[in-house]
Structures are given as structure tokens and as C-alpha cells.
Copies of this chain bind each other. A is one copy, B any other.
Amino acid sequence: MKVVVVAGIPGSGSTTVLEHALENLDYEHVNYGDVMLEIGQEKGLVGDRDDMRSLSPDVQKSIQKDAAKSIRERSKQSNIIVDTHCTIKTPTGFLPGLPQWVLDELQPDMFVLVEAFPDEILLRRISDISRTRDVEMTEDIALHQEMNRAASMTYAVLTGATVKIIANHNDQLNTAVKAITEALQIK
């Protein structure tokens, strides 16, 4: 069975595209952060998601690896879509969501990056009143998407997986959903 990683920066609409695509797909949907939280809780290390950040980097790394192993394990039963970040924008820079030790355990078959034009993302973020998101200029948004492309290509070289770019432009959600659905249905 397949392990597919789907990611997109905030405002790319990756979650929406994924939700619609899952209606027509025989894939189990897994959120990487949720799996990490479950493992942290089972080990008695954390109560809720906020506690995760207070763990030492080594413990976080160990949980991250265990989560990858657990997801790979589940893929023996069904196809898995992992919803995660390609890179996370932090105050110290772009942090890869899938560093080498995660890739070694996860062994994904495909990375999907959901993208949109930077100005589309900017306007979606501004109008999304449900979340407080940092306001970024279009050039910062473009940079984040560029770094995600580079990171995903590195992921692909390390694992032999493919990188599929899905454009999710305004008023073209159906096109994006169709494109991701077709790519995920290929045997």
C-alpha cells in the first residue's frame, strides 16, 4: 500500500483540497502532528499539543521517528495520506517537516505540494478571520513555496518518491481536487 504526504503552506487550501479528494479515494487520512501527540501521551510525556514544544529536541526527534514508524506500519493495512508541513516557517528559519530520520522510517511513495499564487494566498489569509496568522508579503509567500519545492525534491531523492505539484487557484477547487484524485488513483 502507498504512503502519500500532502502539504501546502497556510492559505494554499491544502486541507480543503484534501478533504474533497478523500471523498472519492480509498485512503486513510492521518495527521502527522496528531500521531506525534498520541505517542507523546502514550509515553506519558505530554498532556496536550502545547506540551510538545517544551520537550527537549532529542525527545521530540524520537517521537517524530516513532510517529513515522507507526504510520508506515498502518500502511500495511491501507493506503495512507499523511497531512503535514513540507517546511515550517519558524523564527530561526525554514524547518524541514520531514528530515532524513523521518524519511528513513516513513518511506513515502509520493509528495504532493498544494500551491497557489502568492497574491491569492495573501488575500485568503487576510480574509480568514478564524485564525490569527502572521501577515506576510507576497515575496515571503513565494519564498516559502520555493523552499518547499526544493525540500520536497530532496525528500524525493532520498526516498525515490515522486513530487506532484497541484495548483489550487481561486474558483478552481474542482480542478485541484480532480488533479490530486487522479494522481492518487494511479497504481
A157 to B61, CA, bound (A): 13
Residues of B within 8 A of A112 (CB): 93
Question: Looking at A153, A165, A183, which has the most chain B CB atoms within 10 Å of its CB?
Answer: A153
> How many monomers of this protein are in the complex?
3
Asked whether B162 lies within 8 Å of A151 as measured between CB atoms, the reply is no
Residues of B within 8 A of A154 (CB): 150, 153-154, 157-158
Residues of B within 8 A of A10 (CB): none
A92 at the interface (CB under 8 A from B): yes
Residues 87-114 of chain A, each 1 if its beta carbon lies under 8 Å from chain B, else 0 = 1001111111011110100000111100
Asked whether A99 lies within 8 Å of B147 as measured between CB atoms, the reply is no
Q: Which positions 115-162 of chain A face chain B at CB distance < 8 Å?
A: 143, 146-147, 149-151, 153-160, 162
Asked whether B95 lies within 8 Å of A156 as measured between CB atoms, the reply is yes
Interface residues on A, range: 35 or more
Residues 160-176 of chain A, each 1 if its beta carbon lies under 8 Å from chain B, else 0 = 10111100000000000
Asked whether A158 lies within 8 Å of B157 as measured between CB atoms, the reply is yes
Asked whether B153 lies within 8 Å of A92 as measured between CB atoms, the reply is no
Q: A154-B150, A157-B154 are in contact. Are A162 and B93 (CB under 8 A)?
A: yes
Q: A91-B186, A110-B93 are in contact. Are A153 and B162 (CB under 8 A)?
A: no
Contact among B146, B157, B159, B182 for A98, CB-based, below 8 A: B157
Residues of B within 8 A of A87 (CB): 153, 156
Asked whether B157 lies within 8 Å of A151 as measured between CB atoms, the reply is yes
Contact among B109, B110, B146, B153 for A96, CB-based, below 8 A: B153
Asked whether A101 lies within 8 Å of B160 as measured between CB atoms, the reply is yes
Interface of A toward B, CB cutoff 8 Å = 61, 87, 90-96, 98-101, 103, 109-112, 143, 146-147, 149-151, 153-160, 162-165, 182-183, 186
